[in-house]
Chain A
Amino acid sequence: MEPDVSIETSCMIRIAVLPIGDVPSTLLRDYHSMLLRHCTIPLSTISSFYTEHQKSPFAHQPWETGSLRFKFVLGGAPPSPWEDFQPHRKILGVIGICHCPSSPDLDLVIDQFNAAWRGYSSVLVQRCFAFSPGDSQLEDTKKRENLVLFPPSDRSAQELHLQTMMQDISASLLMEFEKWVLQAESAGTILKTPLDSQATLSSEEVIKAKKRRLARAQKTIGDYCLLAGSPVDANAHYSTALELARLTADYFWYAGALEGSVCALLVDRMGQKDIAIEDEVRYRYNSVIVHYRKSFIQENAQRVSPLTFELEATLKLARFLCRRELAKEVAELLTSAADGAKSLIDASDKLILFVEIARLFGTLGYQRKAAFFSRQVAQLYLQQENRFAAISAMQVLAMTTKAYRVQSRTSISKQSLSDETETGHVDSGKMHHQSVVSLFESQWSTLQMVVLREILLSAVRAGDPLAAWSAAARLLRSYYPLITPAGQNGLARALTNSAERLPSGTRCADPALPFIRLYSFPLHPSQMDIVKRNPAREDWWAGSAPSGPFIYTPFSKGESNDNSKQELIWIVGEPVQVFVELANPCGFDLSVDSIYLSVQSGNFDAFPLSVDLPPNSSQVITLSGIPTSIGPVVIRGCTVHCFGVITEHRFKDVDNLLLGAAQGLVLSDPFRCCGSPRLRSVSVPSISVIPPLPLLVSHVVGGDGAIILYEGEIRDVWINLANAGTVPIEQVHISLSGKNQDSVISIAYENLKSALPLKPGAEVTIPVTLKGWRLFLGESDTAAGKNAFGSMGRTLKDGSSPSLLIHYAGPLGDAQDIETNKSSVPPGRRLIVPLQICVLQGLSFVKARLLSMEIPAHVGESPSSLANMDSKPFGEAVGYSKIDRLVKIDPFRGSWGLRFLELELSNPTGVVFDISVSVQLEKSGNEDNLSVDCAAEYGYPKTRIDRDHFARVLIPLEHFKLPFLDGSIFSKDLQSDGSTAGRNSNFSERNTKAELNASIKNLISRIKVQWQSGRNCSGELNCKDAIQAALQSSVMDVLLPDPLTFGFRLARNGSENAAKLDLPKESDTSIQHIASKNSVIAHDMTPFEVLVRNNTKETIKMNLSVTCRDVAGANSIEGAKATVIWAGVLSGITMEVPPLEETKHGFSLYFLVPGEYTLVAAAVIDDANDVLRARAKSESSDEPIFCRGPPFHVHVNGTA
């Protein structure tokens, strides 16, 4: 059988093209292709070369329209036994091709050429074309037969030359044909085919053979007429031959003549293909096929068979009919041709048959059928067990890969690939079911595996390691679930073996293992957050980053361009990380020599990594790299160096695979079978790289560990900020976020401000003052436990610590730049410095109580000042240093109604605390004290609380009394009383309460309980609430003075002023001493003075009375057993005291019995106003207001 047969094959003159001498194969192909342009030489062009020697037998030669056709056989062909039957199988001409530069000796060339063409017995014309001769060869004018030198020139000139030469050859051939036909007509030629019996013929057969000879001669003459391009002559001869052959039952030659007549018909009706001709051709060819079949002779079936002609005829008809509309008919013809393959003896015939069938199916558009027969071809090649056959098998199989959908990436054209990536970029994530299905269309895994295995086998045999590697990679990657572990190991070995033969650094388009999918793109760590900058605003960072606690804010929605795709910004020169997950679902250890991100855009330096994956495992790894220049970054996948070859693994492929697995279209999900969790669809965000930004890094001086504070502790922390970027920082702003923001008392923002611009590499340290916040009940419970570290971890975890948000930015860039494109303002950044504060429970407050203390005063000569003492704080007391100030009590004034705040504290911690209480005094409004610094603090000695102990701290509340009783404190009260006099004071009470609370707060804020532990641990105890609770009930008594203050003194003449100076010095001596000095002697008339001070701003009229009691408490002035005799008025003294003034009233007492006496003054206020009533808490307005002074002691010396 011959390849590439068609009906027209019968009219083609076969010419062998032989390389003469040494011709490089590329040049040979080039010259051959030049020849191929001259397959058809029109008869009209050769008339100049043609000379009619005798009368042409081709009477009807169409000189105007006809042409000669050539078939160039490169390298020649062995002579066929069927040459007599079909002259187009003969090599009728030989063209030698010589490349002059490589074969300089033209004589040698001619010798070689002659030797070559003499091998072909049937040759009629021979020429040797010598291309690109040298100058010496051109000058060599020696005439050589058949050698044609092509002068060196450009290609078109050479082609013209070649055309002329071909026309010459055509004319020569035509003349030879005429000669042959004339000879054949005259002399009887004996034409035999291998079908004819070789045995001696019987007499009957001899007669039959004679008749047949004529028919055969006519058929052969017809063939030559066809070759000579004269279909009408051919037809005439064929008709004769058909008649004769039918008569002699020479079916084989009959079929041959019929074939020739169809060819003549087609050549005659060149170009016009109407239905009538088609039907005619179909009819005649079916007859041809039938007659070839009929000519099958059983006896020599072993040796030779006309089957090949039958099959060829079938293929010719199929090729003639091969159109989409006639697909069914053609498919039937081809199927029947394929059936014939079984009976073919020669393997190469079978090969040619299958090749032709595959080609025809391919032309028909039946790709799967074509692939099927191509695979049959490949199997026949593989049976031949030699390298060239294996190469052919590999190439044929490579053609089938498209139909079986196992094609290598390299075979998919670049264009379609780029289209794929384009579209793949647009539709991200969710794919429609149908489109997913379409990805896996025609996935016949069994067939695919077989084909790939055959490709692998043939590639190994053909010695093509790259193809073998690629096939093994595809096989392993796509069908690992169908391959046994032993098979998987075998494939892995095949990969390694192939790689050994490949030069290192070979790339292959088909990825092998592992499977790689995108795991996540980590956002910028909080240290490097990028914030969009709004140059129009002072607070440029506002509204750009979701800084709030909510993931979704409706306000930010509108601003962001509603691109569902995540966007990432990378910065030139700052390393970035991408997490990918690798899976090795196979049963062998996979070692990935290097893996790095494959970036298409080329502005990214990826850092390779090497990984070892145990069998059936998956692993998440971090791939990193540095963006190198501005622009978008497109990450397609990873470049992997594994099994000795570099491959690119695209994320999209694996995503598609996983989608298919989710839809049940693919056998297995490689990640799930490795125990990795469910599919998470991560799409590659659009990444853009921007120019360098400043980068601020922070650390807390003294270690980045947690800052451990006791409750209320105040401490300074230094935070070191350094610019690690390459751009100076020009703007900076610090704010706070998170819980417990009030624990940051102050930030030395100015330090940072003054350091601007912060050059690259520069550092600045800013102190931050922190205060430990109060632990709440739940917290303190756990914190109270011994495990301080446990609570520390918890505090850190639940994020109760505040964070410093530092927004900073580099220079704005050129002003022009901003104007031209507004969006090009380089963004700022945000640094979050979490202050890892761990608050431990410190001193704990147990309770607060208000205690009152009463110390009676002594009556002396001192001019006891009745004005409130706190308004005259010891400024006059020259000799006192403040340290010494304890609670000092003026013995002549006493401290009636002195109140202490008692704080009970416990120390559950392991350290010792020192408590110091300080009371800050407000500047009072009194004019006479202006010169004195009233805001002085009272310091009290420290109280020490040992670990696990309780302690009580007393805070005297003596200095809080207001200088005078004012209506202002009751102002609301007054108003309401004035307007709604008759009503109950419910409403007013509320107002009073508000006023009260304000004043209590004022009071409390002045009390500070500070503690210290160790050298540098100090803080303030927060017990305001407790104090408030304790003070709530009796704050009036603490704050407000009585309307009247009473005092007694001995009225001795002349010593008043001196005593006044002396007295303070003495007051810290014992009371006894004072008492003795200012003693009162019995049996002596002692003058006393009672002093009444009005603390209000209005004149008070009153009815004063003085009583004296002895130790037993009995009235010693009145009654039966009176021991004191008096002079002057003691009761019912009507007095009028002007506002803030004192009034004296003198009287004298005569003590009959020595001992301790007590003087008490009391007054009933007449016409009391509302202020007084409120102070006295009187219920009704007509109730008398009664004021009573504190008792004064009088020590009476003497004998009874």
Chain B
Amino acid sequence: MTSTACFIIVSRNDIPIYEAEVGSAAKREDAAQLHQFVLHAALDIVQDLAWTTSAMFLKAIDRFNDLVVSVYVTAGHTRFMLLHDSRNEDGIKSFFQEVHELYIKILLNPLYLPGSRITSSHFDTKVRALARKYL
């Protein structure tokens, strides 16, 4: 498991709808903020890159210092963004694919308004379990 990882789901309207610090390192508030800043800035890169490939997994697209941003774009242009400091690309890809399945289950919920925050605790638990498994 990586020491630092921050996972965020960004809706097509660029609103973060799910945030999780999934790293094993001790959580520091300013670090968490920096993670979000880096991820937010990486959206600019994703915005261009997403249209250049048909793959959903865009691999590592951006970095700041030793933090790498990997992105997975769904068909509905929801972006799964992972900030990490490891280089385990296969694990990250599997992680994204599994989270995508979970996300689709959330979308199928008729009470969930697409684009609004994901508040399901079940989703949160599952995502954290996946992070432990793959990252």
Write the residues of chain A forming the contact surface with B, with a CB cutoff of 8 angstroms. Answer: 327-328, 331, 335, 338-339, 342, 361, 366-369, 371-373, 375, 404, 433, 437-438, 440-444, 446-447, 450, 663-665
Residue numbers in B under 8 Å from A442 (CB-CB): 13-15
Judging by beta carbons under 8 Å apart, are B44 and A369 in contact? yes
**Contacts of B62 on A, CB cut-off 8 Å?**
331, 335
* B-chain residues with CB within 8 Å of residue A331 when the two chains form the complex: 45, 62
A664 CB to closest chain B CB, in angstroms? 3
Any A CB within 8 A of the CB of B88: no
A372 B49 Cβ-Cβ under 8 A: no
B59 at the interface (CB under 8 A from A): no
Residues A444 and B40 in contact, CB atoms below 8 Å apart: yes
CA of A447 to CA of B63 in the docked complex: distance in angstroms?
18
A664–B13 touching, CB < 8 Å:
no
What residues on B are CB-neighbors of A440 within 8 Å? Answer: 13, 15
Could you tell me if A368 and B43 are in contact, using CB atoms closer than 8 angstroms? yes
A residues less than 8 Å from B116 (CB atoms):
663-665
- Distance in Å: Cβ of B51 to nearest Cβ of chain A: 12
**Contact among A339, A366, A441, A664 for B45, CB-based, below 8 A:** A366
- Contact of A369 (CB < 8 Å), options: B41, B113, B117: B41
Most buried by A among B16, B44, B62: B44
Query: Which of A327, A367, A372, A665 is close to B38, meaning CB atoms less than 8 Å apart?
Result: A372
**B54 is an interface residue with CB less than 8 A from chain A:** no
Query: 20 other contacts beyond A437-B13, A443-B15, with CB at 8 A cut-off?
Result: A328-B49, A331-B62, A335-B63, A338-B64, A339-B65, A342-B65, A366-B41, A433-B113, A437-B15, A440-B13, A440-B15, A446-B32, A446-B33, A446-B36, A447-B36, A447-B40, A450-B37, A663-B116, A664-B113, A665-B117
Q: How far is the CA of A441 from the CA of B113 in the complex (A)?
A: 15
Contact yes or no, A664 B41, CB < 8 A: no
Complex CA–CA separation, A443 to B32 (angstroms): 17
Total interface residues on B, CB under 8 Å, equals 25
A167 vs B2: C-alpha distance in the bound complex, in angstroms? 64
A665-B15 in contact (CB<8A):
yes
Contact, CB under 8 Å: B41 / A444: no
Q: How far is the CB of A446 from chain B (nearest CB, A)?
A: 5
CA distance A331 to B63 in the complex (A): 11
Given contacts A437-B13, A438-B13, A442-B15, contact A328 B48 (CB under 8 A): yes
CB distance from B17 to the nearest CB of A (A): 9
Give the residues in chain B near A444, CB-CB below 8 Å.
Answer: 15-16, 36, 40
* Pairwise interchain contact A368-B41, C-beta atoms closer than 8 A: yes
Q: Let me know if B15 and A372 touch, CB within 8 A.
A: no
Per CB-CB distance, the 9 closest pairs between chain A and chain B, nearest first, are A664-B116, A372-B41, A366-B44, A442-B14, A368-B44, A441-B13, A369-B41, A369-B44, A368-B41
- Could you list 28 A-B pairs, sorted by A, with CB under 8 Å? A327-B48, A331-B45, A338-B64, A361-B44, A366-B45, A367-B44, A368-B41, A368-B43, A369-B45, A372-B41, A375-B37, A433-B113, A437-B115, A440-B15, A442-B13, A442-B14, A443-B15, A444-B15, A444-B36, A446-B36, A447-B33, A447-B37, A450-B37, A663-B116, A664-B116, A665-B15, A665-B115, A665-B116
- For B33, what are the chain A residues with a Cβ–Cβ distance below 8 Å? 446-447, 450
Q: Mark B106-123, 1 if CB is under 8 A from A, else 0.
A: 000000010111000000
Which residues of chain B have C-beta atoms less than 8 A from A443's C-beta? Answer: 15
B49 surroundings in chain A (CB, below 8 A): 328
The A contact surface, by secondary structure, is: helix
Q: How far is the CA of A342 from the CA of B66 in the complex (A)?
A: 10
Q: Which B87-135 residues sit within 8 Å CB-CB of chain A?
A: 113, 115-117
Residues of A within 8 A of B64 (CB): 335, 338, 372
List, in ascending order, chain B residues with CB within 8 A of A327's CB. Answer: 48
Nearest residue (CB) in B for A405 is B14
In the bound assembly, the distance between CA atoms of A366 and B64 in angstroms comes to 15
A76 to B5 CA separation, bound complex (whole angstroms): 47
A442 → B minimal CB distance (Å): 4
Alpha-carbon separation in the docked complex, A368 to B32 (Å) = 18
B37 neighbours in A (Cβ, 8 Å): 372, 375, 447, 450
Across the interface, which residues of A come within 8 angstroms of B19, CB to CB?
446
Which residues of the partner chain A approach B13 to less than 8 Å between Cβ atoms? 437-438, 440-442
User: Contact: A372 with B65, CB < 8 Å?
Assistant: no
CB distance from B19 to the nearest CB of A (A): 8
Within the assembled complex, what's the spacing in Å between the Cα atoms of A556 and B45?
60
Determine the distance from Cα of A328 to Cα of B43 in the docked complex, in whole angstroms.
13
Contact residues in B for A367 (Cβ distance below 8 Å): 44
Whether A664 pairs with B65 at a CB distance below 8 angstroms is: no
What string of 1s and 0s marks CB contacts (under 8 Å) between B50-68 and chain A? 0000000000001111000
> CA separation between A367 and B45, bound complex, in Å?
11
A441 adjacent to B44 (CB under 8 Å): no
Q: Tell me, in angstroms, the Cα distance from A681 to B16 when the chains sit together.
A: 27
Q: How far is the CB of A881 from chain B (nearest CB, A)?
A: 94
Q: List residues of chain B with CB within 8 A of the CB of A372.
A: 37-38, 40-41, 64
Across-interface contacts of A433 in B (CB, < 8 A):
113
Give CA–CA (A342, B37) in the complex, Å. Answer: 18
A1059 to chain B, nearest CB (A): 110
Q: In the docked arrangement, what's the CA distance between A664 and B17, Å?
A: 10
Find the B residue at minimum CB distance from A445.
Answer: B16
* CA A663 to CA B114, docked complex, whole Å: 10
Report Cα–Cα, A664/B115, bound state, in Å. 9
Q: Which residues of B lie under 8 Å from residue A339 when comparing CB positions?
A: 63, 65
For B48, the chain A residues whose CB sits under 8 A away are: 327-328
The reply to whether B40 and A368 contact each other, CB–CB distance below 8 Å, is yes
B15 to A, closest residue via Cβ: A443
Rounded to whole Å, the gap between the CB of B100 and the closest CB of chain A is 21
**A331 to B37 CA separation, bound complex (whole angstroms):** 17
**Interfacial chain B residues near A338, Cβ < 8 Å:** 64
Is A441's CB under 8 angstroms from B41's CB?
Answer: no
For A447, the chain B residues whose CB sits under 8 A away are 33, 36-37, 40
B83 to chain A, nearest CB (A): 13
Bound together, the chains give a CA A335 to CA B116 distance in angstroms of 32
Docked Cα-Cα span, A440 to B62, in Å, equals 25
The minimal Cβ–Cβ distance linking A38 to chain B, given in whole angstroms, is: 38
Q: Which residues of B contact A665 (CB under 8 A)?
A: 15, 115-117
Min CB gap A133→B, angstroms: 54
Measured in the bound complex, the distance between the Cα atoms of B117 and A368 in whole Å is 22
CA distance A665 to B40 in the complex (A): 18
Closest chain-A Cβ to B50's Cβ sits at a distance in Å of: 12
- Report the nearest B residue to A372, measured CB to CB: B41
Instruction: Give A664 to B116 CA distance when docked, in angstroms.
Output: 5
Interface residues in B4-36 by Cβ distance below 8 A to A read 13-16, 19, 32-33, 36
- Expressed in whole angstroms, the Cα–Cα distance for A369 and B42 within the complex equals 7
**What separation, in Å, do the CA atoms of A27 and B40 have in the docked complex?**
43
Report the Cα distance A338→B41, complex, angstroms: 13
Distance (Å) between the CB of A356 and the closest chain B CB?
16
- Measured between beta carbons, the chain A residues less than 8 angstroms from B14 are 441-442
Residue of A nearest to B30 (CB): A450
Distance to closest chain A CB from B68 (angstroms): 11
Question: CA–CA, A404 to B45, complex, Å?
Answer: 16
Contact A441:B15 (CB < 8 A) given known A335-B63, A450-B33 = yes
Q: How far is the CB of A19 from chain B (nearest CB, A)?
A: 40
**For B113, what are the chain A residues with a Cβ–Cβ distance below 8 Å?**
433, 663-664
Tell me, in angstroms, the Cα distance from A665 to B11 when the chains sit together.
11
How near does chain A come to B24, taking the closest CB pair, in angstroms? 21
Q: Quote the shortest CB–CB distance from A770 to chain B (angstroms).
A: 61
Chain A residues within 8 Å of B40, by CB: 368, 372, 404, 444, 447
Q: Which residues of B contact A368 (CB under 8 A)?
A: 40-41, 43-44
Interchain CA distance A367-B40 in the complex, whole Å: 10
Q: Is the CB of A664 within 8 A of B117?
A: yes
Neighbour of B41 across the interface among A328, A371, A446, CB < 8 A: A371
What residue of chain B has the Cβ atom nearest to residue A449's Cβ? B33
Min C-beta distance of A447 to chain B, whole Å: 5
Q: CA of A521 to CA of B24 in the docked complex: distance in angstroms?
A: 57
From residue A325, how far is it (CB to closest CB) to chain B in Å?
10
B36 to chain A, nearest CB (A): 5
Smallest Cβ distance from A803 to chain B, in angstroms? Answer: 49
Q: Which residues of B contact A441 (CB under 8 A)?
A: 13-15
